[in-house]
């Protein structure tokens, strides 16, 4: 891994994440237009073209889901159910509430919170089949009170999805599952087809094509975020075991050749040891080619003068996952401003958050933690404001409304505030 001294290299050079998306936008635009026009026929064609699958039906039946559940190793079912319990327990605290202000003049102001009615869940499939994503996207939506959860996930050449994906859908309370993925799946959720219902919001990760499709349909439907490749940044001091730090870095590098693994440390000795250890451990991984490409392209080690400087560097990078691998992480947590999810101490690996701890693993990437947040229950509700004034309360402010409106050149606005008390303003 390349080693840099913080402050000796321009910060913008350290912020670069290599993400190649040339040609994606045009291809996605054509796919979306095709699905919007041809519906199910387009989805079946894309399943044949992209997945190598000749589908007889797009929707997975409840019986198929139940059979898949019965085939999954009972030990894995127990882990999935335990993870679901932890996710529910954590997210139950996120439910937002409305409010009402009853003012002395008789006016009433308030906000009501209602669940988004129908949500689409994008779940990767095939070689990147993650039942954890099913739990992390569906459970917060179910807690929010969404009426219907519609999941899409691409099939394999046999036309089927992994049993663990379908088992997780059953555990999480997904209502309908479809054998479709990619940009075509996003388009189906956004526009609706003969089989796939149109949803109000689309959430969940995916390839560059899924991310671009979500970008293009935003406005027709809501989306959670534009998710990029996975990222981890580890802040570690000299008291760490290089093998442990390297293992944590590689836990994200194995996701994708475009993933980003970064170590920030105040110890040059640890930097050198971790760099050597990463190289040693790469040879032990089944996904060595992917992880090695990730490390060579986006991997970095940054050496700072102290741990406070390490957190400043982390804030500048705004990583998806941030590990604070020190004995007393809480003072450093106080310094963190930009991170999707923070893992505290030497016994809290990022993988714990991916699967079992409870906080969500659908997180902002590519520096978006500067302005956005993890997926949560709040993402599945909407707020509606309401206002009620009495005659007396409106009379007291109608002149101010008219003055404000006329200052903006909006005479009709002014008259609507005054006409209830003076008919001559419209005569």
Question: What tens digit of pLDDT does each residue of 157-170 get?
Answer: 999 999 999 999 99
CA-CA-CA-CA torsion for 387, 391, 393, 397, nearest 10 degrees? 100
CB 256 within 8 A of CB 294: yes
Residue closest to 114 by CA, chosen among 379, 378, 383: 383
pLDDT at 20: 57
pLDDT at 59: 98
Q: What is the pLDDT of residues 329-338, one digit of tens each?
A: 999 999 999 9
pLDDT at 108: 98
pLDDT at 389: 98
Percent of the chain with pLDDT over 70: 96
18 pLDDT tier (thresholds 50, 70, 90)? low
Total Cβ atoms within 10 A of residue 412: 8
pLDDT at 12: 66
Question: Higher pLDDT residue, 126 or 325?
Answer: 325
Average pLDDT over residues 45-53: 96
Cα distances (angstroms) measured from residue 319 to each of 1, 47, 185: 18, 34, 28
**Could you confirm whether 320 is annotated as catalytic?**
yes
Q: Which of 91, 255, 321, 361 is catalytic?
A: 321
pLDDT at 364: 96
6 pLDDT tier (thresholds 50, 70, 90)? confident
Average pLDDT over residues 415-421: 97
pLDDT at 347: 97
pLDDT at 127: 66
**Beta strand 222-223 with 201-203: parallel, antiparallel or unpaired?**
parallel
Q: What is the pLDDT of residues 198-238, one digit of tens each?
A: 999 999 999 899 999 999 999 999 999 998 899 999 999 99
Cα within 13 Å of Cα(374), Cβ side: 23
pLDDT at 15: 65
Average pLDDT over residues 290-316: 95
Strand (E) positions, 135-274?
Answer: 148-153, 176-179, 201-203, 222-223, 231-236, 260-265
**Could you confirm whether 212 is annotated as catalytic?**
no
pLDDT at 332: 97
79 pLDDT tier (thresholds 50, 70, 90)? very high
Same fold, 2-19+228-357 and 24-94+115-223: yes
What is the spatial distance between Cα 216 and Cα 373, in angstroms, rounded to a whole number? 21
Q: Which of 320, 323, 350, 361 is catalytic?
A: 320
What is the spatial distance between Cα 184 and Cα 282, in angstroms, rounded to a whole number? 35
What is the spatial distance between Cα 200 and Cα 211, in angstroms, rounded to a whole number? 17
Q: What is the pLDDT of residues 233-277, one digit of tens each?
A: 999 999 999 999 999 999 999 998 999 999 999 999 999 999 999
pLDDT at residue 348 is higher than 60: yes
**Span 24-94+115-223 CATH architecture:** 3-Layer(aba) Sandwich (3.40)
Strand (E) positions, 141-247?
Answer: 148-153, 176-179, 201-203, 222-223, 231-236
What is the spatial distance between Cα 273 and Cα 280, in angstroms, rounded to a whole number? 11
Domain 2-19+228-357 indexed as CATH 3.30.70.1050: no
354 pLDDT tier (thresholds 50, 70, 90)? very high
Q: Is 128 exposed, middle or buried (0-12, 13-18, 19+ CB in 10 A)?
A: middle
pLDDT at residue 320 is higher than 70: yes
Strand (E) positions, 103-215?
Answer: 108-115, 118-122, 148-153, 176-179, 201-203
pLDDT at residue 14 is higher than 80: no
Residues 6 or more apart whose CB falls under 8 angstroms from that of 78 comprise none
208-217 helix and 182-191 helix, angle to the nearest 10 degrees: 20
pLDDT at residue 125 is higher than 90: no
Could you tell me the residue ranges of all domains in the chain? 2-19+228-357, 24-94+115-223, 389-426
Average pLDDT over residues 84-104: 97
Strand (E) positions, 8-83?
Answer: 59-60
Question: The sheet that has 99-102: what strands, in order across it?
Answer: 99-102, 108-115, 381-388
**Two structure tokens written together for 121:** 């869940």
pLDDT at 318: 95
């Amino acid at each position: 891994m390349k080693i840099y001294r913080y402050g000796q290299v321009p910060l913008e050079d350290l912020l670069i994440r290599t993400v190649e998306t040339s040609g994606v936008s045009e291809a996605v635009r054509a796919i979306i237009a095709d699905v919007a026009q041809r519906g199910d026929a387009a989805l079946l064609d894309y399943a044949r073209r992209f997945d190598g699958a000749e589908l007889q039906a797009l929707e997975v039946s409840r019986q198929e889901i139940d059979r898949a559940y019965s085939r999954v190793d009972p030990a894995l079912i127990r882990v999935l159910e335990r993870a679901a319990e932890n996710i529910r327990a954590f997210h139950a605290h996120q439910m937002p509430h409305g409010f009402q202000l009853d003012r002395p003049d008789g006016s009433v102001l308030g906000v009501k919170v209602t669940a988004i009615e129908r949500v689409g869940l994008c779940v990767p499939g095939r070689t990147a089949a993650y039942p954890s994503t099913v739990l992390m996207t569906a459970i917060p939506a179910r807690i929010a009170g969404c009426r219907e959860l519609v999941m899409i996930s691409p099939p394999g050449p046999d036309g089927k999805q992994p049993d663990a994906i379908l088992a997780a859908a059953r555990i999480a309370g997904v209502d309908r599952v479809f054998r479709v993925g990619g940009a075509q799946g996003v388009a189906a959720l956004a526009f609706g087809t003969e089989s796939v219902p149109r949803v109000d919001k689309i959430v969940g990760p995916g390839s560059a094509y899924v991310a671009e499709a979500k970008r293009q349909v935003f406005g027709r439907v809501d989306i959670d975020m534009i998710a990029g490749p996975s990222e981890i940044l580890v802040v570690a001091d000299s008291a760490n075991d290089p093998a442990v730090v390297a293992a944590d870095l590689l836990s994200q590098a194995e996701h994708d050749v475009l993933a980003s693994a970064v170590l920030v440390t105040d110890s040059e000795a640890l930097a050198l040891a971790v760099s050597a250890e990463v190289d040693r451990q790469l040879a032990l991984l089944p996904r060595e080619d992917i992880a090695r490409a990730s490390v060579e392209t986006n991997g970095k080690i940054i050496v700072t003068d102290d741990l406070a400087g390490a957190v400043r560097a982390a804030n500048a990078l705004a990583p998806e996952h941030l590990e604070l691998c020190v004995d007393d992480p809480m003072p450093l947590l106080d310094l963190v401003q930009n991170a999707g999810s923070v893992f505290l101490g030497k016994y809290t690996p990022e993988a714990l958050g991916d699967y079992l701890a409870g906080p969500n693993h659908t997180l902002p990437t590519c520096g978006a933690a500067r302005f956005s947040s993890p997926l949560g229950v709040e993402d599945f509700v909407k707020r509606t404001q309401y206002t009620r004034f009495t005659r007396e309360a409106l009379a007291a402010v109608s002149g101010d409304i008219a003055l404000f409106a006329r200052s903006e050149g909006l005479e009709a606005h002014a008259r609507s505030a005054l006409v209830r008390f003076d008919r001559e303003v419209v005569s």
